[in-house]
Amino acid sequence: MSALLPPGPESKGIWGNLNEFAPNPPVYLLKLAKTYGPISRFRILNRHMYLLTDPDMIREVLVKQQEIFAKTPFDKEVLGRFLGKGLLTSDGEFHKQQRKLVQPAFHMKRIQEYAEVMVRYTDRMLGGWRDGEVRRLDEEMMALTMFIVSKTLFDADAETMERQVQAVGEAMDVVQRSSNADYRRGFPMPNWLPTRNNRERKQAAKVLADTLGGIIAERRREKTAVDHGDLLSMLLLAQGEDGGQMSDQQVLDEAVTLFAAGHETTSNALTWAWYLLSQHPEVEARLHEEVDGTLNGRLPTLHDLPNLPYTEMVIKEALRLYPPAWMLNGRSPLTDTEVGGYPIKKGSIVFISPYVMHRLPHYFDEPEAFRPERFTPELEKELPRYVYLPFGAGPRVCIGNSFAMMEAQLLLATIAQRFRFELVPGQEVVPNPLITLSPRDGLRMRLVAREAEPIYAAQKELAYALGD
């Protein structure tokens, strides 16, 4: 094994590089990558950290040596407190088995059935918006995607199960705030300490277990296995190679994981997309031209997506500049190993940051610029693998990436037909790098109604006449 250590900044005293890292981790890591190249080394307390920005090295960790590089104990502890042993926190053979069981729920034919739900819920939200209003778009997008994932995950209608959906959403907010506090602190608060944070988190975890567990138990009581057309049905019907099914606890862990990931990613992606569009009127105009020309005022359907390529490019470029999963969970080698010819000691932590990768000029020309044209099919093919990572890569790539992209494209097209947005003056819109990347102080926008197309107006009048 080579004795040559990767380059990196001077490590200072007992804290190492914590004081430089903690205030703004993505900015610090981007500076490291630009200064030291494809692999850099720094220290936080007694732990050595490595940042990788070379695609071949990233492939080493995520694919070739993925059995050696496990999730860090810190991530497992913090995220496991509310995600249990779901796909996001599990490792090794157990993760492989679980992924095989969950995968059928995300087959393309299955998720395509949810397109109508996504558009219908978005249209319902827009019915309550008014020209000139100021709204927190981050909150609006979060609420919308929460109701969509509730319907697609466990067939919970916004009207008939609003109380349960709201309870789950509020509980998720609490446990994620608690996890964010652990990440900011740099260590998990011991479970047994009687702190307010611990009390609130435990109560929220109980709400999740009682509400979602109740739905699971009700489904189990059905005399025959029934497919309700939701993701939960697929989890309950899934069978392993030995013919066995997931336990109720494992179904619960996967359901909570899918609920959390299923609305956080898309809502943040859309929030950043609206912000970027408000700052780039030429891109917004081209988006409107495509949406108006393709849809002619009617609501979009799944079959319209191939005819909305620029809409997809806008989403992909927003995900490049502001990837919600700005940092893939750290990987810690279970044994001494090498990456790119450099020694990586057992127990150290390897970071791979989509935020950093997406802002390096040798991969993306003028990386700070918002240019959806980067993602034409021709240019996208020229990107090296393991450079564009909004959903991760390798065997642990986000299992719901197709769901998220379809949802984002449909929601963007539906909303852009009816409204554009103006940033309320006086806001400083900066990323807040916690578990996901969201605007630190939210995103206050003024709604500007676009003129309704005649076909759309007629469509709505017909729907009202039929009592929809």
Q: Is position 251 within any domain?
A: no
Q: Are 268 and 439 in contact (CB under 8 A)?
A: no
pLDDT of 346 over the 70 cut: yes
Q: Judge whether 138 and 271 are in contact, CB under 8 Å.
A: yes
pLDDT-derived band at 229 (thresholds 50, 70, 90) equals confident
The predicted-structure confidence for 393-410, as pLDDT tens digits, reads as follows 999 999 999 999 999 999
Mean pLDDT for the chain overall? 90
Q: Between the CA of residue 356 and those of 6, 121, 296, 351, what are the distances in Å?
A: 18, 34, 39, 10
Q: How many other β-carbons are positioned within 10 Å of the β-carbon of residue 311? A: 25
More confident position, 441 or 205: 441
Tell me the whole-structure pTM to 2 decimals: 0.92
What distances in angstroms separate CA 172 from CA 260, 271, 416, 442, one per listed residue? 7, 19, 29, 18
pLDDT for 163: 77
| CA pair distance 463, 37, nearest whole angstrom | 58
**Over pLDDT 70: what percentage of the chain?**
94
pLDDT at 147 over 60: yes
Q: Give residue 77's domain range.
A: 1-83+326-374
Q: Does 101 map to a domain?
A: no
pLDDT beyond 90 at 454: no
| In the predicted structure, residue 457 carries a pLDDT above the cut 60 | no
What pLDDT is recorded for position 184? 72
Q: What is the pLDDT of residue 456?
A: 46
64 domain residue, yes or no: yes
Buried b (16+ CB within 10 A) or exposed e, 154-192: bbbebeebeebbebbbebbebbbebbbbbbeeeebbeee
Residue 280: inside a domain:
no
| Residues 421-450 pLDDT 10s | 999 999 999 999 988 999 999 999 999 999
CATH code, 64: 3.30.43.20
pLDDT tens per residue, range 269-301? 999 999 999 999 999 999 999 999 999 999 999
pLDDT band at 225 (very low <50, low <70, confident <90, very high): low
pLDDT by residue (tens digit) across 48-65?
Answer: 999 999 999 999 999 999
Total domains present in the chain: 1
C-beta separation of 48 from 41 below 8 A: yes
Q: What is the pLDDT of residue 158?
A: 63
Q: Indicate the pLDDT class of residue 458, thresholds 50, 70 and 90.
A: very low
More confidently predicted of 177 and 1 = 177
pLDDT at 188: 80
pLDDT at 455: 46
Has residue 463 got a pLDDT over 80?
no
Give the C-alpha distances (Å, rounded to integers) separating 394 from 58, 61, 386: 10, 9, 9
H helix or E strand, kind and range, residue 344:
strand 342-344
Give a yes or no: residue 188 inside a domain: no
Reply yes or no on whether the pLDDT at 459 is more than 80.
no
Higher pLDDT, 426 or 214: 426
Average pLDDT over residues 227-243: 81
**Residue 379: inside a domain:** no
Residue 333 in domain: yes
Lowest mean pLDDT among 4-18, 95-109, 176-190: 176-190
Report d(CA 1, CA 344) in Å as an integer.
10
Is 336 a member of any domain?
yes
Per DSSP, 240 falls in state -
Q: Which of the pair, 6 or 154, is modelled with greater confidence?
A: 6
Confidence at residue 223, expressed as pLDDT on a 0 to 100 scale:
58
